[in-house]
């Protein structure tokens, strides 16, 4: 394997709970109103320092497939992407990060772990 290059985020951001690698900026958060099999989740428009997993089988009765997202540092699952089969150029895939697998960093000193409870 080669050297690992991480993108460092300097503003308020969400990071991997396991290794605290920055994953997404707080201002890229679109919605907090998502539920997934792991519990509450957040919708983002951009993420960094993640690896794409393999595409799963299409969801029955839907035009979507799921790709799991893993932290680039520790390979811990942090979320997933819903990809539509017929994605138009102006549509984006939905990037969903699992709340209980994230840690927040707001300011230089505050680190707060997000719990399973709402």
User: 13: closest CA among 118, 112, 115?
Assistant: 112
Distance CA 59, CA 66 (A): 8
Q: Give the pLDDT confidence score for residue 56 in this predicted structure.
A: 80
63-92: pLDDT as tens digits: 778 889 999 999 999 999 888 765 544 456
According to the model, what pLDDT value does residue 118 have?
41
Domain regions of the chain by residue span? 13-108
| pLDDT value, residue 43 | 93
Res. 1 pLDDT band, cuts 50 70 90: low
Contact 44, 95 (CB under 8 A): yes
CA gap 14, 26 in Å, rounded:
7
What's the whole-number mean pLDDT along residues 9-17? 87
The string of pLDDT tens digits covering residues 26-60 is: 999 999 998 888 889 999 999 999 999 988 877 67
Tabulate helix, strand, coil % of the chain (nearest 5).
5, 50, 45
Higher pLDDT, residue 91 or 118: 91
Average pLDDT (4-30) is: 87
Task: Check residue 62 and give its pLDDT.
Answer: 72
Query: CATH for 13-108?
Result: 2.170.150.20
């Amino acid at each position: 394997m080669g050297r690992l290059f991480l993108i460092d985020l300097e503003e308020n951001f969400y990071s991997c709970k396991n290794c605290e690698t920055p994953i997404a900026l707080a201002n890229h958060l679109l919605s907090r109103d998502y539920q997934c099999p792991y519990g509450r989740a957040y919708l983002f428009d951009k993420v960094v320092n993640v690896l794409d997993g393999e595409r799963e089988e299409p969801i029955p009765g839907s035009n979507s497939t799921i790709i799991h997202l893993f932290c680039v540092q520790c390979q811990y699952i942090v979320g997933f992407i819903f990809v539509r089969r017929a994605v138009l150029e102006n549509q984006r895939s939905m990037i969903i990060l699992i709340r209980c697998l994230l840690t927040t960093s707001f300011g230089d000193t505050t680190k707060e772990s997000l719990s399973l409870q709402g």
